[in-house]
Chains A and B, each alone.
Chain A
Amino acid sequence: MDLTAASSASAERRLLVGAVLLPAAAFGLLHLGRDVTLLGRDTLVRMGVLLAGAIVLHLVVRRLAPRADPVLLPLAVLLNGLGLVMVHRIDLGRTPPTSLATSQATWTIVGIVVAVATLVVVRSHRDLTRYHYTIGFVTLVLLLLPLLPVIGQRINGAQLWVDFSRLGVPVGFQPGELAKIGLVIFLAGYLERKRALLSVATNRIGPLMLPETRHLGPVLLASGLSLAIVVFQRDLGSGLLFFGVSVTMLYIATGRIAYVLIGSMTFLLGAVLAWWQFGHVRDRVAIWLDPWSSINDAGWQLAQASFALGTGGLTGTGLGLGRPTDIPFVETDAIFAAIGEELGLLGATALIVVYVLMVARGYRIALNATDQVGSLLAAGLTTVLGLQVFVIIGGVTRLVPFTGITLPFVSYGGSSLVANYILLALLLRVSDDANTERGART
């Protein structure tokens, strides 16, 4: 990754052309499939947003992080563009048609602005990790916000939303999306300091070397926090995500597989307890194992997602020609099933490959980082992205129990889109820092 600033900029520029053209072509196909008009005004506006956003972000990245990885941004823009197409397609499938895509385009602008702001404010990743305790505290507050009386909102059974409309401000968001990033920053900073301490193994249980009991605190805290999310916010997906990221970062920092095993055991124990104690957890597992017996109520969404994917087959029905709107919450939870139905196994595989590239690129940045906190930060952020993709796609395809979280950059939803743009900006920042330092050293 010893790309010069100029060659990075040129590579990113060329990749961005494809990243914008592909959604544009998809928009065209969608319109042909639906109503034989090639483009509508709304579509032109949305493509304009994507193109302008891509250009602005590209220029800002190349100015503020000139040596940053040139592949991540185009991949994110591509996913964002495909998301706009799919959300628009879902709009068209509803009677009367909805206009979620307009709102998604607006959130795209917000996301890009926030990404720019992140790059402007965070000039070095150490700017963030320096304040890891503060950020950790803010993360905790963010997680607790939805549980507060006036502003906390329960939507579709999960207590994830904060809505200020009752206070006169018509804004709602899911703080959990931002909390994921906060958690990674906190852990990166914390683990960098405590790394040496946590790595010392003094206790031995069979073949496992364990650190002193009091140093188990953080891992137990992480598991506990994750379980608390599952229990109090009724959000299995985020719980799994928080836990997975915490344990992964602990492992990366200490190299002690014991953390992974003990963490997994406590989480599993907690999960069994949750299964035993809470109906919603039990239901999720039952639906995962067999959606067919409850196809008319609880299993409906998963069954419909399976139908969509199965009907899509190898090549899909073609954009605009399937029936993804049969799936409840298709624009958020199940947008992957919509893609699998209309673009087929080929399109869905291509999408997964895009995520694989992003994740591979992310770990590459982590490996390339010149300081431990940068490695931890990049690896943590990448793990958040990868795990989220796995949990939602695995859920929709019934590889793992289904939990309603978003498909990064693609699903409809402002909080998620903004959070993922921040994640992108931070990865780019770590990448630029590393390449700049390496460049300076040689």
Chain B
Amino acid sequence: MNGQIRRVALVMMVVFAALLVNLNILQLVRGPDLVDNPANRRVLVAQYGIERGPMLVDDAEVARSVETDDDLEYQREYPEPELYAHVTGYDSFVQGRTGLEETYNDALMGAPSEMLAQNLTELLIGRDARGNTLRLTVDPRVQEAARTALADRTGAVVAIEPGTGRVLAAYANPTYDPNRLSSHDGGAVQDAWEELRLDPDLPLLDRSTRVLYPPGSVFKIVVAAAALEQGLQPETAFDNIESYTPPGTERAITNSGGGTCTDDETITLARALAVSCNTVFAKLAVDLGDDVVIDTAQRLGFNRAIPYDLPVASSAIPTEMADPALAQSAIGQRDVRMTAFHAAMTAATIANAGRAQRPFVVADVRSPSGRLVQGPADGVWREAGFSEQAISARTASQLRDMMIGVVDQGTGGPAQIGGSEVGGKTGTADDPNLEGSIAWFAGFAGNDIAVAVVLPDVEGGGGSLAAPVAREVMLAWLEQ
């Protein structure tokens, strides 16, 4: 009988060995996956046990953490939800994070090294861990002016301080209430998310940074810059042609409203920009050649990832174009696409003597005790293969004057502000998918503020619709 007992004991030991092997696999090999499983509340509870740092605009909290009485200790709250939604993003335990909540998550949670030091002292004084504070560069009045000027129209406004790259306003409409997604009621969050996601107006979409529109005549700034860089002058005269048919196509490019742009036989480069002369710019681009136009566009930021605190879609231009495509692209149609954010940066670069400053919306990151953790991600936009000077100072200065001409005596008239040097460029692009047109304005007021406005799908042009919005936004800043 003892032989049987030994065999049974042996089988039992094998069975226990199997238990141990299986336990090792579960706890060690599969452990990390199980920790990350979204249905595992442990990680969530740890995350929401930290008092996430607030985001401040002018000392007012636009995102903050409040204590709850459920097991997720802190909940995110947005006091000005719709106004800043596309900047702050949301912090949802169901849907994850977007906006600065996502890109500055580590800082808001308190960086690991920071947390350790903090925890030792916090442990002693018996307080919970707190994350860092983000101070935003946005000016509340400029942001509010953008909202008011857009009213209920779909569109986006971006305002940048040219000398620094500081983002003064970034607003897109429609917007949404991030409080609905940061709720700790999972079902309500799910419902809100489904509703927002399925909304045909796409309120979750940040039209200031994430949507590429055909820039229309705003792109003429790039062609003009390319021409000036090639040694042409604002006064250089061109044949004032009624239509232009580039080589290789039968399709002629005409001016808006038909006819020539002015009654004279010739037209200067400056005047052609002021009145947004399609025929002249289309021919000019073809004469310059695709490599020159594309090179200038890329130096101004096309086809490049803009370094910013939030993700920005890259404006696009093909890397080579046949003449018909080039002619169409020169007037901002066909193959070129641009974000409102990039349009504002381009205007800022011109206002800043050709140097592109890295845009930033986080002024600094400070610990709960007020110590500086991280400064702004500012400075000149440096990138291997590109000169710090996007365009030469001379080109920038000439282009700047030409853009002031657009507002003083051209299509940009509605952007005029008495006593201020306002320059800019209007654009009215067609999109075959839209019934209306896309109205643009990109410009600046002196060296104080650069603004871009885009109004997709409107009945009207950039001069009449977008320029007045830009004017309001500039005024809000200049009046301070």
The residues of A with any CB-CB pair to B shorter than 8 Å are 248, 251-253, 255, 295, 303, 306-307, 309-314, 322-323, 326, 340, 344-345, 348-349, 352, 355-356, 359-360, 363, 366-367, 372, 375-376, 379, 383, 386, 389-390, 393-394, 397-399
We find that the number of chain B residues with CB closer than 8 angstroms to chain A is 33
User: Interface digits, B248-292 against A, CB 8 Å rule (1 contact, 0 not)?
Assistant: 000000000000000000000000000000000000000000000
Find out whether the CB atom of B5 lies under 8 angstroms from the CB atom of A363.
yes
Give the residues in chain B near A383, CB-CB below 8 Å.
8, 12
- Known A310-B31, A356-B13, A397-B23; judge A367-B42 contact (CB<8 A): no
B38 to A, closest residue via Cβ:
A295
B contacts, CB < 8 Å to A: 1-6, 8-9, 12-13, 15-16, 18-20, 22-24, 26-28, 30-35, 37, 39-42, 45
A400 → B minimal CB distance (Å): 9
Give the distance to chain B from A420, nearest Cβ to Cβ, in Å. Answer: 17
Establish whether residues A311 and B34, one from each chain, have CB atoms under 8 Å apart when the complex forms. Answer: yes
Q: Indicate whether A306 sits within 8 Å of B26 (C-beta atoms), given known contacts A311-B35, A372-B1, A386-B15.
A: yes
Is there contact, CB below 8 Å, between A390 and B19?
yes
Counting chain B CB atoms within 10 Å of each CB, the highest count among A306, A352, A375 belongs to A306
In the assembled complex, how far is the CB of residue B303 from the closest CB belonging to chain A, in whole angstroms? 43
**Cβ contacts under 8 Å, A310 to chain B:** 26-27, 30-35, 37, 40
A352 contacts B1, C-beta separation under 8 Å: no
Q: Is the CB of B30 within 8 A of A352?
A: no
On whether the beta carbons of A363 and B12 are closer than 8 Å, the reply is yes
CB distance from A308 to the nearest CB of B (A): 8
Find B1's partner among A252, A349, A355, A386 (CB 8 Å cutoff).
A252
CA distance A376 to B20 in the complex (A): 28
Residues of B within 8 A of A390 (CB): 12, 15-16, 19
Chain B residues within 8 Å of A313, by CB: 27-28, 31, 35
Residue on B with the closest CB to A314?
B28
Q: What residue of chain A has the Cβ atom nearest to residue B22's Cβ?
A: A399
Which of the residues B1, B22, B23, B40 comes within 8 Å of A307, measured between beta carbons?
Answer: B40
B5, B24, B39, B42, most chain A CB atoms within 10 A? B5
The 4 closest A-B pairs by CB, nearest first: A310-B34, A363-B9, A307-B40, A310-B31
Task: Known A-B contacts: A255-B4, A363-B12, A383-B8. Give 10 more (CB < 8 A).
Answer: A252-B1, A252-B8, A306-B26, A306-B34, A309-B23, A309-B34, A310-B26, A312-B27, A313-B31, A375-B2
- A398 and B23 CA atoms in complex are apart in Å by 9
B13 contacts across to A, CB distance below 8 A: 356, 359-360
Partner of A253, one of B1, B23, B24: B1
Separation of A310 and B28 alpha carbons in the complex (Å) = 7
Complex Cα distance A379/B15, Å? 16
Chain B positions within 8 Å of A398 at CB level: 22, 26
Residues of chain A with a CB closer than 8 A to B5's CB? 252, 363, 366-367, 375, 379
- Give bound CA distance, A355 to B23, whole Å: 15
A30 to chain B, nearest CB (A): 18
The 20 sampled A-B contact pairs (Cβ below 8 Å) are A251-B8, A295-B39, A307-B40, A310-B40, A311-B35, A311-B42, A313-B31, A322-B42, A323-B41, A348-B27, A352-B16, A352-B23, A355-B16, A356-B13, A359-B12, A363-B8, A367-B2, A375-B1, A394-B22, A397-B23
Chain B residues near A252 (CB-CB < 8 A): 1, 4-5, 8
Closest to A326 in B: B41
A299 shortest CB reach to chain B, Å:
10
Say how far B383's CB is from chain A's closest CB, in angstroms. Answer: 42
Q: How far is the CA of A332 from the CA of B154 in the complex (A)?
A: 59
In the assembled complex, the Cα of A397 lies from the Cα of B18 at a distance in Å of: 11
Q: Nearest Cβ in chain B — how far from A306, in angstroms?
A: 6
Contact of A307 with B37 in the complex, beta carbons under 8 Å: yes
> Is A394 touching B19 in the complex (CB atoms < 8 A)?
yes
- The residue that A352 contacts in the complex, of B20, B32, B34, with Cβ under 8 A, is B20
Asked if A323 contacts B19 (CB within 8 A), the reply is no
Q: How far is the CA of A253 from the CA of B5 in the complex (A)?
A: 9
With contact pairs A307-B42, A360-B9 given, residues A344 and B27 touching in the complex (Cβ less than 8 Å): yes
**B37 CB to closest chain A CB, in angstroms?**
6
Q: Within 8 Å CB of B34, what residues of A?
A: 306-307, 309-311
A379 contacts across to B, CB distance below 8 A: 5, 8
In whole angstroms, how far apart are the Cα atoms of A398 and B45 in the complex? 25
Residues of chain A within 8 A (CB-CB) of B42 are 307, 311, 322-323, 326
Q: Which residues of A contact B4 (CB under 8 A)?
A: 251-253, 255
B19 with A309: CB separation less than 8 A: no
- Cα-based distance from A68 to B31 in the complex (angstroms): 42
Chain B residues contacting A322 (CB-CB under 8 Å) are: 42
Q: Are B45 and A255 in contact (CB under 8 A)?
A: no
Give chain B residues whose Cβ lies under 8 Å from the Cβ of A314. 27-28
Residue of A nearest to B27 (CB): A345
What residues of A have a CB within 8 angstroms of the CB of B15 in the complex?
386, 390
The residues of B that contact A248 with a CB separation of less than 8 Å are: 8
